[in-house]
Amino acid sequence: MPHYNNRRPAVRKDKGCRYFPATSIVVADFEFKRDRARHGAYVDANGSSACKSLRWPFKQIVCGSWLTLEFTPGAEQPRISHFESRCRPDYDEMAIAEHFFAELDNHPHAVLITWGGECSDVPVLRRIAHQHGLILPYQLQRSRPRRADRIDLCNEIEYSSRVHLSEYAAAQDIPAKPVPGKEVNRLVEQRDWAAVEEQCTADVLTTAIIAVRHFAAIEMIGQTGAACTEAILDRFCARPETGFIAKLRKWREALKD
Protein backbone atom coordinates (compact mmCIF):
# COMPACT_ATOMS: atom_id res chain seq x y z
CA MET A 1 0.00 0.00 0.00
CA PRO A 2 1.49 3.40 -0.99
CA HIS A 3 2.38 6.00 1.61
CA TYR A 4 2.72 9.66 0.73
CA ASN A 5 5.26 12.25 1.81
CA ASN A 6 6.60 10.18 4.69
CA ARG A 7 9.67 12.40 4.87
CA ARG A 8 7.74 15.65 4.96
CA PRO A 9 5.22 17.24 7.33
CA ALA A 10 1.55 16.78 6.52
CA VAL A 11 1.29 20.46 5.63
CA ARG A 12 4.23 22.37 4.17
CA LYS A 13 3.50 25.69 5.81
CA ASP A 14 6.66 27.23 4.44
CA LYS A 15 5.36 26.83 0.90
CA GLY A 16 1.59 26.81 1.29
CA CYS A 17 -0.15 27.23 -2.07
CA ARG A 18 1.99 29.99 -3.52
CA TYR A 19 2.89 27.91 -6.58
CA PHE A 20 -0.74 27.22 -7.45
CA PRO A 21 -2.36 29.70 -9.88
CA ALA A 22 -5.70 29.47 -8.05
CA THR A 23 -7.02 28.58 -4.60
CA SER A 24 -9.58 26.13 -5.95
CA ILE A 25 -10.26 23.55 -8.65
CA VAL A 26 -13.47 22.24 -10.19
CA VAL A 27 -13.23 18.60 -11.30
CA ALA A 28 -15.92 17.63 -13.81
CA ASP A 29 -17.09 14.77 -15.98
CA PHE A 30 -20.02 14.23 -18.35
CA GLU A 31 -21.80 11.28 -19.92
CA PHE A 32 -23.41 11.40 -23.34
CA LYS A 33 -26.11 10.05 -25.61
CA ARG A 34 -25.28 9.73 -29.29
CA ASP A 35 -27.71 11.60 -31.53
CA ARG A 36 -27.84 8.96 -34.25
CA ALA A 37 -30.86 10.50 -35.98
CA ARG A 38 -29.17 13.84 -36.64
CA HIS A 39 -25.90 12.17 -37.55
CA GLY A 40 -27.71 9.90 -39.99
CA ALA A 41 -29.45 12.88 -41.61
CA TYR A 42 -26.09 14.63 -41.93
CA VAL A 43 -24.52 11.57 -43.58
CA ASP A 44 -27.46 11.20 -45.99
CA ALA A 45 -27.27 14.87 -46.96
CA ASN A 46 -23.50 14.89 -47.51
CA GLY A 47 -22.97 11.45 -49.01
CA SER A 48 -19.36 10.47 -49.56
CA SER A 49 -18.20 13.84 -48.16
CA ALA A 50 -19.62 13.05 -44.72
CA CYS A 51 -17.65 11.78 -41.76
CA LYS A 52 -19.11 8.34 -41.10
CA SER A 53 -17.91 8.29 -37.47
CA LEU A 54 -20.28 9.87 -34.96
CA ARG A 55 -18.09 12.54 -33.37
CA TRP A 56 -18.59 15.06 -30.57
CA PRO A 57 -20.93 17.50 -32.40
CA PHE A 58 -23.59 14.77 -32.26
CA LYS A 59 -23.13 13.90 -28.58
CA GLN A 60 -25.76 15.14 -26.13
CA ILE A 61 -25.04 15.44 -22.42
CA VAL A 62 -27.26 13.22 -20.28
CA CYS A 63 -25.38 13.58 -16.99
CA GLY A 64 -22.84 15.91 -15.46
CA SER A 65 -21.00 15.72 -12.14
CA TRP A 66 -18.58 18.18 -10.58
CA LEU A 67 -16.58 18.59 -7.40
CA THR A 68 -15.13 21.88 -6.14
CA LEU A 69 -12.08 21.79 -3.86
CA GLU A 70 -10.60 24.84 -2.15
CA PHE A 71 -6.98 24.78 -0.97
CA THR A 72 -6.12 27.03 1.96
CA PRO A 73 -2.47 27.53 2.90
CA GLY A 74 -1.81 25.90 6.28
CA ALA A 75 -4.90 23.66 6.17
CA GLU A 76 -4.24 19.92 6.38
CA GLN A 77 -7.00 19.03 3.90
CA PRO A 78 -8.77 20.83 1.07
CA ARG A 79 -12.30 22.06 1.66
CA ILE A 80 -14.93 20.47 -0.56
CA SER A 81 -17.32 23.34 -1.08
CA HIS A 82 -19.54 21.74 -3.70
CA PHE A 83 -20.30 18.26 -5.02
CA GLU A 84 -23.32 17.61 -7.21
CA SER A 85 -24.73 15.76 -10.20
CA ARG A 86 -27.42 16.69 -12.68
CA CYS A 87 -28.86 13.87 -14.74
CA ARG A 88 -31.67 12.77 -16.98
CA PRO A 89 -34.62 12.46 -16.75
CA ASP A 90 -34.86 15.48 -14.44
CA TYR A 91 -32.49 17.69 -16.44
CA ASP A 92 -31.89 18.05 -20.16
CA GLU A 93 -28.47 18.95 -21.51
CA MET A 94 -29.12 22.71 -21.47
CA ALA A 95 -30.16 22.58 -17.79
CA ILE A 96 -27.12 20.47 -16.93
CA ALA A 97 -24.86 22.96 -18.70
CA GLU A 98 -26.54 25.92 -17.02
CA HIS A 99 -25.99 24.47 -13.53
CA PHE A 100 -22.38 23.64 -14.35
CA PHE A 101 -21.72 27.08 -15.83
CA ALA A 102 -23.18 28.63 -12.67
CA GLU A 103 -20.71 26.70 -10.52
CA LEU A 104 -17.79 27.89 -12.65
CA ASP A 105 -19.13 31.45 -12.54
CA ASN A 106 -19.23 31.19 -8.75
CA HIS A 107 -15.53 30.24 -8.81
CA PRO A 108 -14.09 32.36 -11.66
CA HIS A 109 -10.52 31.82 -10.47
CA ALA A 110 -10.85 28.04 -10.12
CA VAL A 111 -9.04 25.74 -12.53
CA LEU A 112 -11.32 23.34 -14.40
CA ILE A 113 -9.94 19.79 -14.27
CA THR A 114 -10.98 16.97 -16.63
CA TRP A 115 -9.56 13.71 -17.92
CA GLY A 116 -9.70 13.76 -21.71
CA GLY A 117 -12.13 16.66 -21.54
CA GLU A 118 -10.51 18.58 -24.38
CA CYS A 119 -11.56 15.82 -26.79
CA SER A 120 -15.25 15.76 -25.94
CA ASP A 121 -16.54 17.42 -22.75
CA VAL A 122 -15.27 20.93 -23.48
CA PRO A 123 -16.29 21.14 -27.17
CA VAL A 124 -19.74 19.73 -26.37
CA LEU A 125 -20.23 22.35 -23.64
CA ARG A 126 -19.21 25.04 -26.10
CA ARG A 127 -21.66 23.64 -28.69
CA ILE A 128 -24.47 23.81 -26.13
CA ALA A 129 -23.65 27.44 -25.36
CA HIS A 130 -23.69 28.30 -29.07
CA GLN A 131 -26.93 26.41 -29.70
CA HIS A 132 -28.89 27.74 -26.71
CA GLY A 133 -27.45 31.24 -26.38
CA LEU A 134 -25.64 30.64 -23.08
CA ILE A 135 -22.65 32.66 -21.90
CA LEU A 136 -19.57 30.51 -21.47
CA PRO A 137 -17.79 30.83 -18.11
CA TYR A 138 -14.21 32.08 -18.11
CA GLN A 139 -12.71 28.58 -17.98
CA LEU A 140 -14.41 27.57 -21.25
CA GLN A 141 -14.01 30.70 -23.32
CA ARG A 142 -10.66 29.81 -24.88
CA SER A 143 -10.40 27.02 -27.42
CA ARG A 144 -6.88 26.24 -26.28
CA PRO A 145 -6.59 25.91 -22.50
CA ARG A 146 -4.17 27.87 -20.39
CA ARG A 147 -2.93 26.52 -17.12
CA ALA A 148 -4.78 29.24 -15.24
CA ASP A 149 -8.21 28.27 -16.57
CA ARG A 150 -8.35 24.52 -17.27
CA ILE A 151 -6.17 21.41 -17.28
CA ASP A 152 -6.74 18.13 -19.07
CA LEU A 153 -4.97 15.68 -16.76
CA CYS A 154 -4.61 13.12 -19.51
CA ASN A 155 -2.33 15.57 -21.34
CA GLU A 156 -0.83 17.11 -18.19
CA ILE A 157 0.57 13.84 -16.90
CA GLU A 158 1.73 12.32 -20.18
CA TYR A 159 1.20 14.33 -23.34
CA SER A 160 2.13 11.92 -26.12
CA SER A 161 -0.42 9.14 -25.53
CA ARG A 162 -4.10 8.85 -24.66
CA VAL A 163 -4.03 6.75 -21.49
CA HIS A 164 -7.48 5.79 -20.21
CA LEU A 165 -8.60 7.06 -16.82
CA SER A 166 -9.31 3.52 -15.61
CA GLU A 167 -5.93 2.37 -16.97
CA TYR A 168 -3.99 4.98 -15.01
CA ALA A 169 -6.12 4.40 -11.91
CA ALA A 170 -5.63 0.62 -12.05
CA ALA A 171 -1.85 1.09 -12.08
CA GLN A 172 -2.19 2.79 -8.67
CA ASP A 173 -4.91 0.50 -7.25
CA ILE A 174 -7.44 3.36 -7.29
CA PRO A 175 -11.03 2.06 -7.66
CA ALA A 176 -12.58 3.40 -10.84
CA LYS A 177 -15.67 3.01 -13.01
CA PRO A 178 -18.43 0.85 -11.50
CA VAL A 179 -18.94 -0.62 -15.01
CA PRO A 180 -16.53 -0.75 -17.98
CA GLY A 181 -16.54 2.48 -19.99
CA LYS A 182 -18.03 0.88 -23.11
CA GLU A 183 -21.05 -0.23 -21.07
CA VAL A 184 -22.20 3.36 -20.51
CA ASN A 185 -23.82 3.62 -23.95
CA ARG A 186 -25.93 0.59 -23.07
CA LEU A 187 -26.95 2.14 -19.73
CA VAL A 188 -27.93 5.35 -21.51
CA GLU A 189 -29.99 3.49 -24.12
CA GLN A 190 -31.71 1.55 -21.31
CA ARG A 191 -32.27 4.82 -19.43
CA ASP A 192 -30.69 3.43 -16.31
CA TRP A 193 -30.02 6.93 -15.05
CA ALA A 194 -28.99 5.90 -11.53
CA ALA A 195 -26.19 3.77 -12.97
CA VAL A 196 -25.19 6.52 -15.42
CA GLU A 197 -25.03 9.05 -12.58
CA GLU A 198 -22.87 6.77 -10.42
CA GLN A 199 -20.49 6.17 -13.33
CA CYS A 200 -20.20 9.91 -13.89
CA THR A 201 -19.54 10.73 -10.24
CA ALA A 202 -17.06 7.86 -10.00
CA ASP A 203 -15.08 9.40 -12.86
CA VAL A 204 -15.06 12.70 -10.98
CA LEU A 205 -13.83 10.93 -7.84
CA THR A 206 -11.00 9.17 -9.69
CA THR A 207 -9.99 12.29 -11.62
CA ALA A 208 -9.99 14.36 -8.42
CA ILE A 209 -7.76 11.88 -6.58
CA ILE A 210 -5.29 11.76 -9.45
CA ALA A 211 -5.36 15.56 -9.71
CA VAL A 212 -4.60 16.26 -6.05
CA ARG A 213 -1.85 13.65 -5.95
CA HIS A 214 -0.29 15.17 -9.05
CA PHE A 215 -0.51 18.73 -7.71
CA ALA A 216 0.95 17.63 -4.38
CA ALA A 217 3.81 15.87 -6.16
CA ILE A 218 4.78 18.97 -8.13
CA GLU A 219 4.21 21.26 -5.11
CA MET A 220 1.33 23.23 -6.57
CA ILE A 221 -0.61 22.78 -3.32
CA GLY A 222 0.50 22.71 0.29
CA GLN A 223 -1.51 19.61 1.23
CA THR A 224 -0.29 16.05 0.75
CA GLY A 225 -1.77 13.57 -1.69
CA ALA A 226 -2.81 11.32 1.19
CA ALA A 227 -4.67 14.07 3.05
CA CYS A 228 -6.46 15.21 -0.10
CA THR A 229 -7.38 11.64 -1.04
CA GLU A 230 -8.87 11.09 2.41
CA ALA A 231 -11.01 14.23 2.16
CA ILE A 232 -12.36 13.26 -1.27
CA LEU A 233 -13.12 9.70 -0.20
CA ASP A 234 -14.90 10.84 2.96
CA ARG A 235 -17.23 13.04 0.92
CA PHE A 236 -17.91 10.43 -1.74
CA CYS A 237 -18.47 7.61 0.76
CA ALA A 238 -21.30 9.65 2.30
CA ARG A 239 -23.40 8.75 -0.74
CA PRO A 240 -26.09 6.02 -0.45
CA GLU A 241 -24.76 2.49 -0.26
CA THR A 242 -24.03 0.67 -3.53
CA GLY A 243 -21.55 -2.03 -4.48
CA PHE A 244 -19.12 0.62 -5.68
CA ILE A 245 -19.46 2.67 -2.47
CA ALA A 246 -18.77 -0.47 -0.42
CA LYS A 247 -15.64 -1.03 -2.49
CA LEU A 248 -14.52 2.55 -1.87
CA ARG A 249 -15.07 2.28 1.88
CA LYS A 250 -12.97 -0.86 1.98
CA TRP A 251 -10.21 0.90 0.04
CA ARG A 252 -10.40 3.91 2.36
CA GLU A 253 -9.86 1.69 5.38
CA ALA A 254 -6.93 -0.08 3.67
CA LEU A 255 -5.24 3.28 3.06
CA LYS A 256 -5.26 3.93 6.81
CA ASP A 257 -3.36 0.73 7.60
**136 neighbors 50 (Cβ within 8 angstroms):** no
User: Cα(98)–Cα(104) distance, rounded to whole angstroms?
Assistant: 10
Q: Average pLDDT by consecutive 10-residue portion of the chain (257 residues)?
A: 42 45 85 96 97 97 98 91 97 98 96 95 98 97 86 87 91 94 95 98 98 93 94 96 96 91
pLDDT at 256: 86
- Helix, strand, or coil (residue 169): helix
| Correct CATH for 28-255 of 1.10.10, 1.10.3470, 3.30.420, 3.40.50 | 3.30.420
User: Cα(137)–Cα(133) distance, rounded to whole angstroms?
Assistant: 13
pLDDT at 160: 65
**Termini Cα distance of the chain:** 8
Name residues whose C-beta falls within 8 Å of residue 26's C-beta, 6 or more positions apart in sequence.
Answer: 66, 67, 68, 103, 104, 107, 110, 111, 112, 113, 139
**117 neighbors 153 (Cβ within 8 angstroms):** no
Domain-wise residue ranges, the chain? 28-255
pLDDT at 10: 41
pLDDT at 9: 40
Handedness of CA 179, 185, 190, 191 (dihedral sign): positive
- Helix, strand, or coil (residue 5): coil
Amino acid at 119: C
Q: How far is CA 200 from CA 55, 65, 170, 179, in A?
A: 20, 6, 17, 11
